[in-house]
């Protein structure tokens, strides 16, 4: 079985594959101070509680945008699974030509998402990841990664609004029935929600113009299921796209 690990700024998402089948997945908070043993015990306990045989794991692949966590996770893989993980980075075969000015600058999660989306839907395809940052990536019909745009994420934007104002409260991010709202909480919810919906549709429109083609738009990330239904441009939501992309890349590097 294959253990895939996606390390984001806010969460670590784990998945276990048996062949092409995703058996189960979990989400942990990304804690830079958590130790090798804490990660190892936590992950093996999750496996135990969900009926996954940890001893059947025979390969591990990791994608990370948080470099300080990597030494801890690599030691955890060796100590608790007896395996050296494949880490997404230079030298790993992705099957995708990166057209960035400096390919090393592209976040591993963006490449993995692009590989997963192109593998499943072909190209051209546009991928939106609603994570700590909201990223937009474009892949052409030949499978070339062209680049994209990076925006502040919904969570950090909302938190900045609260922290930099004296009287505005923290809110749940949700769709309101109208934009002209009559209380502070709903006014904030409307501004955040429909503001990001407009951002998504506006950027996708411009990306499609530059691609010169009708590209499929795939959304992933924690808030994709919240935002996508209100947009005009998102075609499909794939909450576990990164895990699928990691599996595909592992198969290409066996």
Instruction: Consult the annotation and say whether 79 binds a ligand.
Output: no
Count up the domains in the chain and report the number.
2
Tell me, yes or no, whether 92 lies in a domain. no
Kindly state whether residue 181 falls inside one of the protein's structural domains: yes
**108 among annotated binding-site residues:** yes
As a whole number, the mean pLDDT across the chain is 95
Q: Is 58 a catalytic residue?
A: no
Instruction: Give the three-state DSSP class for 141.
Output: coil
CATH of the domain at 22: 3.30.420.40
What percent of the chain lies above the pLDDT cut of 70? 100
Final residue in a domain of this structure, among 87, 111, 142 = 87
Q: Is 132 annotated as a binding residue?
A: yes
**Calpha distance 154→159 (Å, rounded):** 9
What is the mean pLDDT of the segment spanning 43-49? Answer: 96
Which of 66, 87, 108 terminates a domain? The answer is: 87
- Residue 123 and residue 54 in one domain: no
Considering the domain architecture, whether residues 104 and 83 belong to the same structural domain is answered as no
Same domain membership, residue 30 and residue 136: no
Q: What is the pLDDT of residue 212?
A: 87
Residue 18 has pLDDT above 90, yes or no: yes
Residue 13 is assigned to a structural domain of this protein:
yes
Question: In the structure encoding, which two tokens stand for residue 215, read together?
Answer: 């590209």
In angstroms, the CA 193 to CA 205 distance is 19
Q: Is 102 annotated as a binding residue?
A: no
77 and 104 assigned to the same domain: no
The residue annotated as part of the active site, out of 109, 140, 201, 235, is: 109
Count of CB atoms situated within 10 Å of the CB of 40? 20
| Same domain flag for 104 and 64 | no
How would residue 219 be classed by pLDDT, with cut points 50, 70 and 90? very high
Same domain flag for 136 and 215 = yes
Relative to beta strand 86-87, strand 125-130 is: unpaired
pLDDT tens readout for residues 64-118: 999 999 999 999 999 999 999 999 988 899 999 999 999 889 999 999 999 999 9
Give the Cα separation of 225 and 128 in Å (integer).
12
Confidence (pLDDT) at 214: 87
Q: Are 22 and 109 part of one and the same domain?
A: no
Cα–Cα distance measured from residue 134 to residue 129, given in angstroms and rounded to the nearest whole number: 6
Residues 23 and 53 in one domain: yes
Using pLDDT thresholds of 50, 70 and 90, give the confidence band for residue 222: confident
The range of the structural domain enclosing residue 13 comes to 2-87
- Whether residue 39 lies inside any domain: the answer is yes
Residue 201 is labelled as binding a ligand: no
Bond preceding residue 124 cis, omega within 30 of 0: yes
The last residue of one of the domains, among 87, 120, 146, is 87
């Amino acid at each position: 079985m294959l253990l895939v690990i996606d390390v984001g700024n806010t969460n670590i998402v784990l998945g276990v594959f048996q062949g092409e089948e995703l058996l189960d997945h979990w989400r942990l908070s990304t804690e830079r101070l958590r130790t090798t043993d804490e990660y190892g015990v936590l992950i093996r306990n999750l496996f135990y509680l969900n009926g996954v045989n940890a001893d059947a794991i025979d390969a591990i692949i990791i994608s990370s945008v948080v470099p300080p966590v990597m030494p801890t996770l690599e030691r955890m893989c060796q100590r608790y699974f007896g395996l050296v993980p494949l880490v997404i980075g230079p030298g790993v075969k992705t099957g995708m030509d990166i057209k960035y000015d400096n390919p090393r600058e592209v976040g591993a999660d963006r490449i993995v998402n692009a590989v997963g989306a192109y593998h499943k839907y072909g190209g051209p395809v546009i991928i939106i990841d609603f994570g700590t940052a909201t990223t937009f990536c474009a892949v052409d019909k030949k499978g070339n990664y062209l680049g994209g745009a990076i925006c502040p994420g919904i969570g950090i934007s909302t938190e900045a609004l609260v922290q930099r104002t004296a009287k505005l409260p923290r809110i749940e991010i949700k769709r309101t029935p109208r934009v002209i709202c009559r209380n502070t909480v709903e006014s904030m919810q409307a501004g955040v929600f429909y503001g990001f919906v407009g951002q998504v549709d506006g950027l996708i429109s411009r990306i499609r113009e530059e691609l010169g083609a009708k590209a499929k738009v795939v959304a992933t990330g924690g808030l994709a299921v919240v935002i996508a239904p209100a947009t005009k441009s998102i075609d499909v939501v794939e909450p576990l796209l990164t895990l699928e992309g990691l599996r595909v890349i592992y198969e290409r590097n066996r």
